Structure 1
Amino acid sequence: MIHDQREEKFRQIVENKFQIYNSLFMSLPYDKMTNIGMLLPFLCEESRDGYQKGKTPVEIVEEFFTSHTDLQTEEQKLELLFKIIQYIERQVVLFDSIEDAAFPSLHSESDNGTITNLYERAYHDHKLEKVREKLKDFTVKVVFTAHPTQFYPSSVQRIIHDLRHAISSDSITNIDMLLQQLGKTPFVNKEKPTPIDEALSIIHYLRYVYYDSIGELFDKIKKIFGNSHDYLHEDIIQLGFWPGGDRDGNPFVTAEVTKRVSEELRSAILKSYYANLKDVRRRLSFRGVSEVLGKLSAELYSAIFRNEKLSSENILKHLNEAEEILVKEHNSLFLEVLTNFKDRVKIFGTHFAALDIRQDSRIHQQVIDDVFAKLFGNIDADYSEKYNKLIEYSGKAVADDFEDIVKDTLINVQQIREIQDFNGIRGMNRYIISNSDAVKDVMNVYTFFKISGYQDDEINMDIVPLFETMEGLANAENVMLDLYQNPIYKKHLQRRGNQQTIMLGFSDGTKDGGYLKANWEIYKAKEVLTKISEENGIKVVFFDGRGGPPARGGGKTHDFYASQGKTIANNKIELTIQGQTITSIFGNKEQAKYNFEQLLTAGIENDVFKNSKKDLTENERKLIIELAEISYKKYSDLKAHPMFVPYLQEMSTLEYYGKTNIGSRPSKRGGGDELKFEDLRAIPFVGSWSQLKQNVPGFFGFGFAMQQLKEQGRFDEIKNLYRGSDFFKTLVLNSMMSMNKSYFPLTYYIKDNAKFGDFWQILFEEFTISKDIMLELTGFKILQQEDFLSRKSVKIREKIVLPLLSIQQYALMKIQKGEGNIEAYKKLVTRSLFGNINASRNSA
C-alpha cells in the first residue's frame, strides 16, 4: 500500500512536473537552439527503435539528419549535435532539481533507517538504554574528496540550488527566469580547476548545507532520545576533507596549497559562527548576556579579517559565561537558541572539517632514499639501515636542501604543527598512505616527523595505511600484526589512545579483483584486522574509500553497513564521498540529514538489534569463498585478454576524461605515454564502462560463478545464501543496480568489429548470464524490482540521455574510421561525457 502511494506520488511530483516544466523549457529562446526541443524527441525515437532493430549509432544519427532536417554539410550537422548536447545537459539539470525538490515528500520521518524509526524500534524492543549506550562512543564520518566525478561548474550548481527552491514552491515565474539563465550559462570550465578551486567548491556546501543539517540533526537526536549529554558526544557526526591535502597522483597539491586550504576551512567556520551569532544576539538582547556576546562577535571578526588566533575553547568560554547569566538572571529565556549554537561550536571547532594528508607509499620511499643519501651519503644501504639511522637522527632535515617532491613533503610535515595550532588538533590529525603493502610504508611516515624535528609526544597524527589492491589486502594482516608489535609504533599508538584507523579501497579493489572478490576480500580483511586489533588491545576504525556506483563501493550504503556482523569492528562508520555523490546524496539539507541518519542508524542497529542474517555461518562463508574465487578467475581472464586495454582505449571514452577540465589531477598515474592497467585510475576506468552502458566492473564474473554452481546442481545453496545473508543479498542487489544501468544494444555494432567483436561478445554473454541468474535467484521479474524510486529515476534519466549516447557513439565511430573532422568529433565525445555522468548521479 505504502509502495503504491509513493509510486503515485513520484508520478505526480516528479514525472508530471518534469513534463510540465520541460515543455516550458522547450519554448525558451536560447541562442540558435529554438527548434532543438522539437527535434530532440525524433532523435530519441530513432535511437530507441533503431537499437532494438540492431542499427548502428551512425545509421541512427544519419537517418535522423535525413528524415528530420535539411542539413547538408558536416559543419551544419556537427553544430546541431553540439546544440542537442547543450539542451540535454540542461534537461538533466531540470530533472535533478525536480527530483531534489520532491525528496521531502517522498521520504518520511518514520522511514527505515531514520532516527525516529530507530527510537520506535528500540522502544518496542525495550532497548532504548542499549541505543543510548552505543550513542556514547559511536561516530559517523563523511570525508569529502576532490575526485572528479562532478561536471557542473559552481555557477550551474548555484542555479540548481535556486531552481530546487523555485520548484518546491511551484513558482512558475522564477522557474522560467532560472531556466533562461541556465540556457545562457556555460556548462564547461575553460580551464582545469586548481586544488584551491575544488576546495572552495566543497567549502560552499560546508557553509550552506552541512553547518545547518548536522547542527539540526544533532538537536533532533537529543530531543528524540532525551536531552541528556550523558549518552551523546559532539563528535557523533564528523566531516573530513581531502581537497588540498590529497596529493596522491596530483602534482598540483603542494604544501602551500594545504596551508591555504586549512586557512579557508578555518575562515569558513568562523564566518558561519559570526552569521549564526547575529541570530542568537537578535533573541538574547538581555543585560549582561548582550555584552558578552558582543565581545565574542568582535573576537570572531578579528579572527576572520585580521587572522588573529581564536580557539573553540575560547568561544565556548564566552558562551558558557552568557549561559550562566541567562539562567541566573533571565529565567533561561531562549536558552535553546544559545545551546544549539554551543553544540555547533563543539561539533565544528575551528576546523569545520578535518583536513587529511594523503600520498603514495612509493613517493614516500623516494623521499626517504633522497634524505638518507643527503644526510649519510650511502645510497646502497638497505632499508633497515636507513630506517634505524633516520629514526635516531637527532638533527632536522632542512627542506631547502632538497628539490621538488622531497622538499615539498618535508615542508608539509613541518607545517602540521602550525595548522593544528590555528585549526585545533581535530583540524588535521591523520596522514593516509596509498598503496600500503608493507610495515615500512607506515614507519616511513613516522620517520618524516622524526627528521622534521618532532619529539615522539609531539606527533599528534594518526598514521593510516590504505590497503587497496588484492596484494595489499592480502598483506594487511601481517603488516598490522608487525606494526602492533613494533616497539616504536606501539608507543605511538598508546599516545593516540590505542586507536588505529585502517583505510580499505573499494574502487581500486574492484578494478583489481572484480566485484564479488573485492567485496569479499575487504569483508575478510575487516574480520581479521578486527581480531588481531582486539588481541593487541587496539580499537580499530575502518575507513572505506567508496565511490558513487556499486563498482566503486557505492550502492545502497545503509544496507551495506547494516549487513556487517559481529566479526567486524563497529566503532565508527567512515567513508569517502565525491563528485555527484555529494550533490545527489548530500546536496541539500533534507537529503544530507536523511542520509547522515541512514549511516548513523546502520551502525547502531548492528550492535543493538542482533540478527542472524548479519553473521555468516561456516557453510555460508565457504560458499562465498568458492563463488569469489570462480568470479575472480573469470575477471582475471578478462583483464589478461589482449584486447582489454585496447578496447577501453579505442572504443570507450577513457582517454577523453583528462580533457574535461573537471578535476585538478591527471586521469592516470604514471607519466609515460603507454597506457598500463595498473596506472588507470578507478574513476575513469569505471566511468568509461558506464559511458559504454556496459558497467562491467559492477557484475563481471558474479553471474558466471553462480551459473557454474547451478550447473553442478547447487543452486539451492545459493538461494539459501541469498535468503540467509544480508551481506550477500546486498552485493546481489547492488550488482543488479549496475546491470539496470547497462544498455548493450547501444554497442551491438561492435560484435561485427574485426578487432573487438569477440571481446564484446564475452562482455555481452556475461551480462546475459548475470542478469538471468540474478532474476532467477531473487524471483524478480525486472532488475531493481523492489527499489522502485531508484528504478523509476534511472528509467527517466536513461531516456533523457539516450540521444546523447547515440551522439557519443556516432562520434567515436567516426574517429575510429578516421572520417571527417576528427578534432570536432573528439570534442563531441568530450562534451557528451558531461551529461551522461551528471545523469547518472543516483548511482550511489
Structure 2
Amino acid sequence: MPQLWKPANWSDRLAELEARTGDLKEAPLRRDVRSLGMLLGEVLREQAGDAFFQRVEDLRLNAIRRRETQAEGQQQQADALMQSTVAGVHSLPVDEAYYLTRAFAFYFDLINLAETNHRKRRRRSLQLHNSEAQRGSLRGTLRAMREAGITAEEALAYLSRIFVVPVFTAHPTEVARRSVLFKRRRIGEFLAHLDSIPLPDEEMQDLENAVTAEITALWQSDEVRSRRPEVADEIKMGLDYYEVSIFETLPRLYEEVSAALASEYGLTLDAASLPLMLGFGSWIGGDRDGNPFVTPQVTREAIHEARTRLLDFYLTRVQQLIDLLTTSAQQLPVSDELRTRLDNYLAEIRVGEDVLFGPRFQFELYRRYLACVRARLLRTAGHAAPNADSLEASLAALPPYCSAHDLMEDLSVLRRSLAAHRGERIAETLVDPFLLLVRTFGLHLHTLDVRQHARIHRKALEECSAWQAGSNENAVEIPQHLSPSTLDVLDTMRAIQEVKASCSPEAIRQYVISGAASASDVTAVLWLARLAGINPAGRDGDPGLMPVPLFESIEDLRNAPEVCRELWTNPAYRELLASWGNTQEIMLGYSDSNKDGGMLTSTWEIFRAHRALHQVAHECGITLRLFHGRGGTVGRGGGPTHRSIYAQPVDAFDGQIRITEQGEVLNFKYSDVVLAERNLELMIAASLDALARPNARQPDGHQTGVLEPAWESAFDELSSLAYDFYREQILHDPEVLQYFEQATPVSELEHAKIGSRPSRRGGKMSFDSLRAIPWVFGWTQSRLLIPAWFGVGHAFTAFLQKPGGAELLREMLTEFPLFIDLVRNVEMALAKADLGIASLYSSLVPDAGLRERVFTKLKAEFERTREALLTIAQQDDLLQNNPVLARSIRLRNPYVDPMSLIQVDLLRRKRALVASSNGAASPELDAIHRAIAGTINGISAGLRNTG
C-alpha cells in the first residue's frame, strides 16, 4: 500500500494548512478520514478476516443506499431496505453482531480523532492570520471592544472582572475506559505529527505504522468496561485532564491574552501581571445526590488525590527549575532578600551551608534556595526522604507549606532576584508560568463541591432537632439511632470540617442543594454544618462554606428571586454574606427544568430567573455569581459555548460564572493542549463579550442582547404555549413513559456500566424518580432527541398564525441572542434525529395501539417543529447555514444507522430471552448485555453524545 499521507509536493500541503476558506482547508480532514478508514479496513481484514470485513461493507453500503433513497423521496423503498438489513442482522449470532458494532464504533473513534485534529489544525491556521481575528477569540473580542470605543483602561477593568470556573462532573461519564482514552490520545498525537512539514518518507511510514499498531491494539482491547466504574475510577479520570492538557495549557492561554492586548491595545503586560481569570472545580467525589457510593471517605479521598496530583506536579516543576536555573554567583549576584531567606532556612535546620551542600551547587545560590523550596513541598506532600544521608533528608526539618501564599512568596522572592540582576527573560520563561499555576491551583488543585438533595437535609434537620438545639462552635456526639441518610449527612459535614481544619480549607467552598425550593432549605444546611463543628463564615484564609441553592423545576425557577430576597434580607444570613465578600452563588438547573417543562420553557424560565435574581441581588447589595448546570447535549443545556454565554441577560452578568463540564464532553474539550486552550479561551472571550457588550456601542447595534418589549411578550407567549403542550402531551400522558421504557434502551444503563450513579432514585420508574440524564440518554440513543425540541414546534406554529408573527420571530432570530441560541440548538437536534430509525425502535413496544398513538404524536410534533423552524429561518433545509456541521452529520449517519439496527435487534433478543427464562442470569444474557453496551458506546461516538 502506498503511503497514505504522502503529498504530491510539500508546497501543496503547506497551502492546505494555511488555507482560510473553501475546499482546500477541508482537504486535510478528508485525507485523515479516508486514510484512517483504510487502515481500519486493513486491521479488520487482518484481525477478523475478509468475510467479516465484507459484512461491514455491506451494512455500510445498505445504510448509504437507504439514505439516498430516502432523500429522493422514495420512502417505501427506503423502508424496505431497512427491513431487509434488519432481517440480515437478526440472522447473525450475538457475538458477530457485537463485533460488527465494534467495527462501526471504531470507525467513529477514528473519525472523531480526525475531526479533533482538524480543529487543532484550524486553530493553528487562525493563529497564523492574526489580522483576521474571529468573534469568539480573545483577539476578536478585544478588537470589537476597541472599535466600539472602549479604552485600554476600560478593557483591563473589564478583564479584571472575568472569572470563569469550569466544574468537572462525572455524569454521564465518558463511555470508554481510561486505557482506551490513552490509546486514542496516542493516535491523535501521531496524526498531529503527520502535519509536520516536511517529513522524510521513513518517518512518515513509521508514523503510519504506529497508527496501524494502535488501531490493532484498540481492536484487541475491551472498549467498554466489564464492571461498573467506582467513584474512585471517575475521580482518576477527571484528574487525568490536568496532566494531559490543563497544566500546560494555562501559561499558553495567558500568553495569548497578553499577545491579544498588545495587538489590539498596544499594552505590554506579561502573564504575571494579568488578572486571574480562571479557576477549576469538580463534583467528582462530592456529588452524593442519589449516589450512595459517594461516601464521606470517598470525599476525603477525592481531595487527597487532587492534592497529591498537584503537589507531585509542583515537585516536578521545582526540579526542572533546579536543573535549569544554573546562574552562578560568580557571574551575577542574588538579591539580599533571597540570600536572607536562604540563610533563614538554613538556620531552621541548624546545619551550616557548607556542611549541608558541600561542593554541590557551590556558587549556584538559586539552586540551593530551590532545594529548600522542594524540601518544603516534599513535606507538604507527605513524602519521606529517600535515605538518611541525602540532602533531602537533611532538609526534611523545614516546615511544610500551610498556604499557597507562602509558596507564592518563595517563588516571588526568586523572581524579584532574577529580575533585579538581568534575568528578566529567565523569570518570564521559567518562573512566571509556575507562579501562574500556583495562583490558579493553590495547594488543592480545584474546589470540590459537595451536593445533596434538600429533602435529605429536611429529614436530617427534623431528626437532629429532637436531640440538639444547635451549637455554633462545638461538635457534639452523634446518636446512632438516627436514620442512615441523616448519619451520612452528619458524617459528610464532619468530613468537610476536617478539610476546613487542614492547610487547604479552600478545597471545599460550596455546598450545592439540589431541589432547593425555599430559604429554609438553605438555612437547614447552615444549621447542620454548625452541628458538625463547621463555621460557615469566611475567616483567616478559610473562605467558609457557602450553601448554593440549585433551582431545578420550572416552579422553583419562578420562585427563586423571592426565595433569595427572603434569604438575603435575613440579618443573620447578611452577616455570613459579609464574610463571603457580599457574594452569593446560585445554581440554575438545565436538565431537570427541561424534563419538567420542555426545551423552550426551560430556556426562557432560566433566562427570566437569571435576570430577576440579578435585580434582587442589586437591590440587596449582593454580588451574584451564577452556576450554570449545563449538560453536553442540547436537551440538557448544551450547545456552542460562546453563543450560550453571550445569550445571558444584558446587565445581569458581573463577569463571574461557573459552568459544569459533563463527563461526556471532557475528552472532547480537554484531551489535548490546543483543544483545552481553545475551549478555555472561548469561555473567557464569551464572558468578556457578554460583560462589555461592544455590539451595543456600535452604530448599527446588531445583536446587542437588549430585550425589546415585543420580544419579551413573544417569548412569554411561546413559553406558555410550549409548556402547556409539553405537560399535557408528555408529563401527563402515562403512555409516554411506558413507551419510553419499551422503545428506548434506557433500562440498559445499569448494564452498560457507564457511570457509578444509579439512573433513578429507587423504586418503579416515574417522571419524579427518573433522572434527567437517562431521560435524555434514552431519546438520544433511539434517535428522536425529544427533550431538545418537543413543544417548540407547537408554540412556533401557533405564533406564526398570528398577524405579524413570522416577521417578529424572524426579527428575533436576527437580533436576540437567546432566541438565536434556542433556534440553532433545536435545529441541530432535529438534524441529528431520524424518524425512520426511531420508528424501528417503536416496534419494540408490544402494544400496537400504544405504539401507534405515542409515535404518531411524537412524529407529528417533529414535523411541525421542522416546518416551523424552516419557515422562521427562511431556509429550505436544516443546517443550511452551517454546512460544516451538516456535512459531518450527513457523513456520520450511514455509520450510525447500522449500530442502531443492531441495537434494536439485540434489545428484542434480550427481552425474548428474559421472558423465556423468567429473568434468570445466563452466559447468553451476559453476551447480549455486552453487545448492547457496545452499541451504546458506538452510537454515542457517532452522535458525540451519551446524554
Distance 1:33 1:85 in 2: 16
Extract unaligned runs of 5+ from structure 2: 1-15, 71-76, 128-132, 195-206, 262-266, 328-363, 385-399, 917-923
Please state if 1:44 is matched with 2:70.
no
CA deviations 1:791-822 (Å, max 9, x no partner) are 32233332321110111122334456679977
Deviation sequence 1:90-135 (CA, Å, 0-9, x none): 1121112111112122232333211122233333334233221111
Aligned partners of 1:606, 1:2: CA distance in 2, in Å? 32
Matched, 1:637 2:660: no
Once the two structures are superposed, what CA deviation does each residue of 1:387-440 show, in whole Å capped at 9, x if it has no partner? xx4367976253766453322322221232432454624321110000000111
1:691 alignment partner in structure 2: 781
After the TM superposition, which residues 328-407 of structure 1 pair with which residues of structure 2 at under 5 Å, given as runs? 328-336=420-428, 337-375=430-468, 389-390=469-470, 396-398=476-478, 402=482, 404-407=484-487
Q: Percent identity?
A: 23
Cα deviations by residue, 1:139-198 (Å, 9 ceiling, x for unpaired) = 111000010242010000000111101111232011011111111111121111111110
Amino acid at match of 2:936: L
> Given residue 117 of structure 1, which amino acid in structure 2 is its aligned partner?
G
**How much does 1:488 deviate?**
1.5
User: Which residue matches 1:386?
Assistant: none
The higher radius of gyration belongs to 2
Shift of 1:684: 1.1
1:434-453 → structure 2 map (5 Å cutoff): 434-453=514-533
Q: CA deviation at 1:138?
A: 1.4
Give, in angstroms, the shift of residue 231 of structure 1: 11
Matched, 1:506 2:590: yes
Taking the TM superposition and a 5 Å limit, the aligned residue runs for 1:586-597 are 586-597=670-681
> Cα distance, 1:786 vs. partner?
2.4
Change (3 A) 1:510 1:193: same
Aligned mates of 2:183, 2:651 — CA distance in 1 = 46
User: Of residues 256, 263, 280 in structure 2, which corresponds to 1:220?
Assistant: 256
Residues 418 and 390 from structure 1, CA distance in 2 versus in 1: closer, same or farther, beyond 3 angstroms?
A: closer
Specify whether residues 56 and 409 from structure 1 end up closer, same or farther in structure 2 by C-alpha distance, changes over 3 A only.
farther
Maintained 8 Å contact 1:245/1:357? yes
2-structure distance, mates of 1:563, 1:572: 15
Please give the secondary structure, in 2, of the residue aligned with 1:237. coil
For residues 455 and 26 of structure 2, the distance between their equivalents in structure 1, rounded to whole angstroms, comes to 53
* Aligned mates of 1:56, 1:598 — CA distance in 2: 46
Deviation string 1:311-336 (CA, Å, 9 cap, x unpaired) is 32222222122223323345435111
One of 296, 299, 302 as aligned partner of 1:261: 302
Do structure 1's residue 704 and structure 2's residue 794 form an aligned pair?
Answer: yes
Q: How does 1:143-158 map to 2 (within 5 A)?
A: 143-158=167-182
Is residue 2:600 matched to residue 1:516? yes
Change (3 A) 1:261 1:30: farther
**What pairs with 1:396-795 in structure 2 (closer than 5 Å)?**
396-398=476-478, 402=482, 404-422=484-502, 424-455=504-535, 457=537, 460-608=544-692, 609-611=694-696, 613=703, 614-639=705-730, 640-669=732-761, 671-672=762-763, 674-713=764-803, 714-749=805-840, 750=842, 753-795=848-890
Cα separation, 2, equivalents of 1:305 and 1:314: 17
Task: Determine helix, strand or coil for the equivalent of 1:152.
Answer: coil
Q: Secondary structure at the match of 1:186?
A: coil
- The verdict on how the C-alpha distance between 1:10 and 1:695 changes in structure 2, with shifts beyond 3 A counting, is farther
- From 159, 181, 190, the counterpart of 2:183: 159
- Aligned CA distance change for structure 1 residues 454 and 167 (closer, same or farther; 3 Å): closer
Give 1:303's aligned residue: 380
* Superposed CA offset, 1:649-683 (max 9, x none): 111111111211121110111x21x2111111111
- Number of aligned pairs? 821
Partner of 1:115: 138
1:80 is aligned to 96
Q: Distance in 1 between matches of 2:524 and 2:481?
A: 19
Measured in 2, the distance between the counterparts of 1:186 and 1:732 equals 40
What do the CA deviations read for 1:733-782 (whole angstroms, capped 9, x no partner)?
01101111001011335489332112101111111111112112112232
Q: Secondary structure at the match of 1:679?
A: coil
Query: Aligned partner of 1:102: which letter?
Result: H
Q: Specify whether residues 162 and 621 from structure 1 end up closer, same or farther in structure 2 by C-alpha distance, changes over 3 A only.
A: same
Q: Deviations over 1:15-46 (max 9, x none)?
A: 33212221111111665465433221211233
In the superposition, relative to structure 1, how do residues 349 and 521 fare at CA in structure 2: closer, same or farther (>3 Å)? Answer: same
Contact 1:57 1:809 in 2 (8 A): no
Using the TM superposition, name which of 707-716 and 574-583 deviates more. Answer: 707-716
Deviation at residue 63 of structure 1 after TM alignment = 4.7
**1:4, 1:710 → 2: CA distance?**
42
Whether the 8 Å CA contact 1:283–1:334 is kept in 2: the answer is no
Q: Secondary structure at the match of 1:324?
A: helix
**Does structure 1 retain, via aligned residues, the 8 Å contact 2:287–2:294?**
yes
Matched residue, 1:836: 939
- Cα offset for 1:233? 5.7
Unmatched segments (≥5 aa) in structure 1 = 66-72, 376-388
Amino acid at match of 2:53: G
Secondary structure of the residue aligned to 1:446 is helix
TM-score by length of 2: 0.82
Shift in alpha-carbon separation, 1:175–1:2, aligned structure 2, 3 A: closer
In structure 2, how many angstroms separate the alpha carbons of the residues matched to 1:457 and 1:85?
54
Residue number among 299, 302, 316 corresponding to 2:408 in the alignment: 316
1:603, CA displacement in angstroms?
1.4
Point out the more displaced range, 682-691 or 583-592.
583-592
Tell me the distance in 2 between the aligned counterparts of 1:391 and 1:464.
Answer: 22
Q: Distance in 1 between matches of 2:471 and 2:904?
A: 56
**What is the alpha-carbon distance in structure 2 between the residues aligned to residue 699 and residue 232 of structure 1?**
46
One-letter code of the match for 1:429?
R
Output the CA distance in 2 between the equivalents of 1:163 and 1:606: 37
Cα distance in 1, alignment partners of residues 475 and 418 from structure 2: 54
Greater shift after overlay, 827-836 or 138-147?
A: 827-836
CA distance in structure 2 between the aligned counterparts of 1:187 and 1:112, rounded to whole angstroms: 38
Letter in 2 for 1:676: S
The answer to whether residue 366 in structure 2 is matched with residue 289 in structure 1 is yes
Q: 1:315 to 1:4 in 2, by over 3 A?
A: closer
In 2: Cα distance, 1:105 partner to 1:313 partner: 39
- TM superposition shift of 1:57: 8.9
8 Å CA contact retained: 2:522, 2:549: yes
Deviation (angstroms), 1:215: 2.6
Change (3 A) 1:3 1:326: closer
Aligned match of 1:70: none
> What do the CA deviations read for 1:445-504 (whole angstroms, capped 9, x no partner)?
100122122346468111100001112112212210110111211111111111000000
Indicate yes or no: 2:216 matched with 1:180.
yes
Higher mean C-alpha deviation, range 473-482 or range 395-404:
395-404
When residues 280 and 812 of structure 1 are mapped into structure 2, their CA distance, relative to the original with a 3 A threshold, is same
Q: Structure 1 residues 290, 245: CA separation in 2 closer, same or farther (over 3 Å shift)?
A: same
Q: Which residue of 2 aligns with 1:17?
A: 32
Relative distance call for 1:399 and 1:207 in structure 2 (3 A) is farther
CA distance in 2 between counterparts of 1:678 and 1:817 reads: 29
2:311 aligned with 1:270, yes or no?
Answer: yes
Note if contact 2:168-2:282 (Cα within 8 Å) is conserved in structure 1.
yes
1:84 maps to amino acid: L
Query: Which residue of 2 is the match for residue 803 of structure 1?
Result: 898
Cα distance in 1 for residues equivalent to 2:365 and 2:481: 57
Secondary structure in 1 aligned to 2:161?
Answer: coil
408-417 or 262-271: which moved more?
Answer: 408-417
Classify the secondary structure of the residue corresponding to 2:902. Answer: helix
Q: Does 1:208 align with 2:208?
A: no
Alignment root-mean-square deviation, CA: 2.7
Q: Which shifted more, 261-270 or 410-419? A: 410-419
From 319, 326, 346, the counterpart of 2:418: 326
